[in-house]
């Protein structure tokens, strides 16, 4: 178990500095791998995550344009980095600084790897404000 805790006043969950949340999906975004800390922070068991679309953790506060930017960058550059607010199974939330990468196997099979770390609080504050503005424009 990792040192994961909840701010009762906000329902925000936190994970330790230096921890890496890892997951991998197939070409269609279906989860094929999730590490223990991803399961713990998201509040799901491994069996509940494997075979589900990665957007199972998408928080409704996230603007659509953020994911458009993610996919545009992955297709053009092969990777994307950014701040994401995710939703837990219990409807709580957690923030991550994510790097998503496109992987192409020797047989041509495409998959996506996501590595997430704990973001700085100043960045979370900035992104919260920005995402509220972007959601209002949708």
Residue 113 near residue 101 (C-beta atoms within 8 A):
yes
Global pTM reads: 0.93
Residue where the block lists tokens 């992104």: 127
CA dist., res. 82 & res. 95, Å (int): 11
The C-alpha atoms of residue 124 and residue 118 are separated, in whole angstroms, by 10
SS3 category, 71: helix
Q: Which residues, 6+ apart, have CB-to-CB distance to 102 below 8 Å?
A: 74, 75, 78, 79, 110, 111, 112
Phi-psi region of 43 (alpha: psi -120 to 50; beta: other; left: phi over 0): left
Q: What is the CATH number of domain 5-137?
A: 3.30.450.20
Map out the domains of the chain as residue ranges. Answer: 5-137
**Confidence check: pLDDT of 5 > 80:** yes
Q: In this predicted model, what pLDDT tens digit does every residue of 49-105 receive, in sequence order?
A: 999 999 999 999 999 998 888 889 998 999 999 999 999 999 999 999 999 999 999
């Amino acid at each position: 178990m990792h040192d994961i805790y909840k701010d009762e006043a906000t329902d925000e969950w936190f994970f330790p500095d230096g921890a890496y949340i890892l997951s991998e999906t197939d070409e269609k975004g279906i989860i094929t791998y999730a590490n223990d800390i991803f399961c713990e922070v998201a509040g799901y068991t491994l069996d509940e995550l494997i075979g589900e679309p990665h957007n199972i953790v998408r928080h409704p506060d996230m603007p659509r344009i953020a994911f458009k930017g993610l996919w545009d960058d992955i297709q053009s550059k092969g990777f994307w980095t950014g701040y994401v607010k995710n939703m837990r199974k219990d409807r709580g939330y957690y923030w991550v600084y994510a790097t998503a990468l496109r992987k192409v196997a020797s047989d041509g099979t495409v998959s996506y790897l996501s590595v997430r770390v704990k973001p700085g609080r100043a960045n979370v504050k900035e992104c919260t404000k920005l995402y509220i503005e972007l959601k209002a424009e949708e």
